[in-house]
């Protein structure tokens, strides 16, 4: 059996009673998890795939998960949370991933939730909320972590990286999955705790940097000076005008 193999049996052994769906190849783990959440699967249920053929990223982008080279995992959460604080789910994902990646290599979070090694992205996080009318039924937290994807010669060279390129030992996705779920459980139980926001803030390299942010309303250039408790990035531009950015793509420089 190849090293770092994933299978339902292997995962079932380490995940115990946690509801699990595993796919060798699937469109998007977030799609499966959403459907499963609507069918009533409990919080903590996890969908894992070795390959995604139609992985989704933030802001309508795609996400590559080639077989045996990455981790694609979606967790069903059922937070009792004020809709204005939904960003806390993304925060808990970012903090959990950063804490685990840190056990292998130095890492940081670029606002809102890109996990970086140096200046390159190793992991993306996509939280998708499921509503029934005004009621939040669930949030699916999707994590895409590059383990040994080779970006050389691709448009992502210089922008994306893989964990194994920086770690001193080969990476076991099974071990990573158990580490990630432990950290996600820990922070899920503390979603209302101000410590979550404070910890996420500590991880953010974006604060204090000069940034260009592409938002739906246009480009904002300025200095990111803080985040607020709802997760928005606070930016002051050259004229001294303050901006509160809730969604956007940050470029530093």
Q: Nearest CA to 74 among 5, 27, 131, 112?
A: 27
Nearest approach in angstroms of CB 248 to ligand BTN is 13
Q: What is the number of the residue whose Cβ is closest to ligand BTN?
A: 124
Distances (CA, A) of 90 to 82, 110, 197: 14, 12, 11
Dig out the tokens for 127 from the structure: 């939280």
Q: Which positions ≥6 away from 65 have C-beta within 8 Å? A: 49, 51, 52, 55, 72, 144
Dig out the tokens for 69 from the structure: 């080279």
CB of 52 or CB of 87, closer to ligand BTN:
52
Nearest approach in angstroms of CB 247 to ligand BTN is 12
CB of 72 or CB of 245, closer to ligand BTN:
72
Nearest approach in angstroms of CB 186 to ligand BTN is 20
Nearest approach in angstroms of CB 63 to ligand BTN is 4
Q: Within a 10 A sphere around the Cβ of 117, how many other Cβ atoms?
A: 22
Nearest approach in angstroms of CB 169 to ligand BTN is 24
Note the residues at the interface with ligand BTN (CB under 6 A): 28-30, 52, 55-58, 61, 63, 65, 72-74, 114, 124-126, 142-144
Distances (CA, A) of 34 to 128, 157, 163: 8, 32, 28
CB of 159 or CB of 198, closer to ligand BTN:
159
CB of 61 or CB of 210, closer to ligand BTN:
61
CB of 159 or CB of 195, closer to ligand BTN:
159
- The C-alpha atoms of residue 137 and residue 133 are separated, in whole angstroms, by 9
- Indicate the DSSP class of residue 204: B
Q: Which positions ≥6 away from 172 have C-beta within 8 Å? A: 4
Nearest approach in angstroms of CB 109 to ligand BTN is 11
Cβ atoms of 109 and 98 closer than 8 Å: yes
CB of 124 or CB of 248, closer to ligand BTN:
124
């Amino acid at each position: 059996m190849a090293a770092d193999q994933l299978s339902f049996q292997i995962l079932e052994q380490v995940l115990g009673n946690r509801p699990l769906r595993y796919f060798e190849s699937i469109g998007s783990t977030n799609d499966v998890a959403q459907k499963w959440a609507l069918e009533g699967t409990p919080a903590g249920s996890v969908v894992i795939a070795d390959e995604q053929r139609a992985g989704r990223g933030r802001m309508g982008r795609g996400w590559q998960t080639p077989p045996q080279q990455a981790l694609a995992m979606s967790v069903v959460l059922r937070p009792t949370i004020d809709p204005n604080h939904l960003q806390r789910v993304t925060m808990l994902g970012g903090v959990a991933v950063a804490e685990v990646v840190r056990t292998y290599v130095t890492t940081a979070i670029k606002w809102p939730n890109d996990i970086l090694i140096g200046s390159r992205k190793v992991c993306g996080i996509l939280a998708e909320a499921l509503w029934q009318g005004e009621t939040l039924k669930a949030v699916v937290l999707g994590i895409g972590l590059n383990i040994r994807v080779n970006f050389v010669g691709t448009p992502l060279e210089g922008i994306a990286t893989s964990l194994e390129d920086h770690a001193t030992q080969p990476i076991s996705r099974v071990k990573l999955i158990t580490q990630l779920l432990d950290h996600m459980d820990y922070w899920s139980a503390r979603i209302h705790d101000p410590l979550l926001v404070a910890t996420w803030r500590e991880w953010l390299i974006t604060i204090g940097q000069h940034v260009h942010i592409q938002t739906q309303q246009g480009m904002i250039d300025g200095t990111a000076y803080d985040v607020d408790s709802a997760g928005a990035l606070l930016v002051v531009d050259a004229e001294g005008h303050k901006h509160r950015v809730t969604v956007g793509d940050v470029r530093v420089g």
